[in-house]
Amino acid sequence: MINSQLKQYLIGNLPEELITDIDVKIISGVITEEEFQMEESELIEDFIDGMLSPEELEMFRNNFILNEQRKDEIRLLFLLKRYAHHRRTSTARN
Using CA atoms, how far apart are residues 62 and 67, in angstroms rounded to an integer? 11
Give the pTM: 0.79
The per-residue pLDDT for 92 is 72
Q: What is the pLDDT of residues 2-46, one digit of tens each?
A: 678 999 999 999 999 999 999 999 999 999 999 999 999 999 999
Domain count of the chain?
1
Residue 44, domain extent: 2-93
| Alpha carbon distances (Å) from 18 to 7, 47, 72, 80 | 12, 23, 28, 33
Using CA atoms, how far apart are residues 78 and 71, in angstroms rounded to an integer? 11
